[in-house]
Chains A and B, each alone.
Chain A
Amino acid sequence: MKKLLYKEVMLCTNIQIILFAVFALFVLIPSWPPAVAFVYPLSGLMSLFPRGLANKDIEYTSLLPVRKTDIVKGKMLYLCLIEIVVIILATIGGIIRFFFFKEPTKPDELQYFMAVRPSISLLGFAFLSFGIMNAVLVGLYYRNPYKRLAGPNLISLLICVIILAIGSVVIAFAPALREYDVIGIIAQASTLVIGAGLFVLFSYLGYKLGAKAFINVDL
């Protein structure tokens, strides 16, 4: 599987994916909703399958000594890798913003909603949104990888944005998910762990759905 991941990194990574992944550092911008930092990188990921189609990625990979289902697994692992990089970049940006940038000391809830401070719980929601996006994108795409591009991309993007928006609202209205007292830290750490767990679960589900459909696809 390492070889497939290496192949994805070396042959499928394009400047759009890298550039938009770095946009995760937008979390540094004061008074900006940090959830937006997780939306920009999706633009890069959305280029993955159309570019793959143009480069005959599936045709090339299917000639390699791998199982047909491994083709889906390799792509899913690559998506997860990019998303984890995005979350790491956003975490670094969030830590810098938290410690070094001045923000309103007691913003009201509306301000929280519009420009909530970076919180650990937001990372949990980011994980969840990425996981569901993976499940929808890969699960739908591999049903018909030669035709289905716009549908899986748009649907998964929309779902991801909706979950991030819901997460931001929940954080804005639930102080425990944004305050750094003992209860807050426990609540936020729990959200992160649950989010990361669901990320793994949904990504695995997406791989299974994609692989099940792809095995019947004639290349």
Chain B
Amino acid sequence: MKTLEIKNICKHYPTFNLKDVSFAIEPGKIVGFIGRNGAGKTTTLKCIYNLVKPTSGEVLYDGKSITDIEADYKQDVAMLIGEMDYYNTKTVKALTSVTKRFYKNWDDNKYHIYLKEFGIDENKQIKALSSGMKVKYGLALALSRGAKILLLDEPTSGLDPVSRDELMDIFIDLVSDKEHAILFSTHVISDLEKCADQIIYIKNGEIIVNDDVTNFEANYLRYAGESKLFANHKDKFIFYRDRLGKFEGIIKKEFNLDIDESKIEKRNATMEEIMVAFERGENNEKVAL
């Protein structure tokens, strides 16, 4: 499979800047793209699909600039932004019959399997689909078009837990052939814990983490216990909560706390705990109530 490389992308807006974003999407990987609302996830994805023109930097697919091979690139790379809510008065069937003509590797059989699996009625108007169904319909289109790389912006938003779980299994199946790759942004960190191989964390328009999921999680610890035990160590924590004599906090593994471990609770931090610590910690929102 061809590799997608994002090289030093910058995008300047009056109120927001995407700063020197670089990473690569390799075959066989599910990459979770995380960050707060407004951190730059959607802008980055749009730059990767040439919907937003970067101020500087470039996106290379198989070593070529995507602007030079845009139509071919978009055959190989699928993008889904939120719900599929285009042409609301048209039926699912009508929209699909137009859409599928554009794809060389469209698989009608696969499409109908996904429709059945997702419980989508082809004769319904788009506007009659629920939010979750619109997301599923968009996924059915993206998964049936034979794309090698899927760029998905919040694909699990609006889905119930069972559908999210099913979708994660579809993702895992898809990349297991080592020919496909998925980059998806999400707020639902538990989804990433189920299937992501790699994490890219963006904060204020800047990539601050690009790592293997296991490495990422293994680098941070969560401590909890009585406040007085942590009194001399608080400054080492990225983020902590100290309330009514109970302390809990996230710390980098490299810091060795000289505390009797039998009196405290210590474990690897979850991805969600790390993300919250990153976001709230830097603003010195270390909560001491």
Contact = CB atoms under 8 A, between A and B. Distances in A.
B95 A11 contact: yes
B98 interface: yes
Chain A interface, DSSP helix/strand/loop, else mixed: helix
Interface of B: 46, 49-53, 70-75, 79-81, 85-88, 90, 94-95, 97-99, 101-103
A3 B51 contact: no
Contacts of A154: none
Contacts of A63: 49, 74, 79-81
A148 interface: no
B38 to A, nearest CB: 16
B98 A11 contact: yes
Given A55-B86, A57-B86, A65 B103 contact: yes
Contacts of B86: 55-57, 59-60
B142 to A, nearest CB: 9
Given A56-B85, A66-B74, 4 more contacts: A3-B101, A11-B87, A55-B88, A67-B71
B150 to A, nearest CB: 12
Contacts of B53: 215-216, 218
A180 interface: no
A147 to B, nearest CB: 16
B29 to A, nearest CB: 23
A53 to B, nearest CB: 12
The 10 closest A-B pairs by CB, nearest first: A65-B74, A60-B86, A219-B51, A218-B52, A67-B70, A65-B75, A55-B87, A56-B86, A64-B102, A3-B101
Contacts of B87: 11, 55-57, 60
A213 to B, nearest CB: 12
A3 B90 contact: no
Contact of A66 (B51, B85, B102): B102
Nearest to B86: A60
A182 interface: no
A62 B151 CA distance: 14
Interface in A91-125: none
Given A55-B87, A218-B51, A6 B46 contact: no
A4 B181 CA distance: 28
A219 B101 contact: no
Interface in A135-189: none
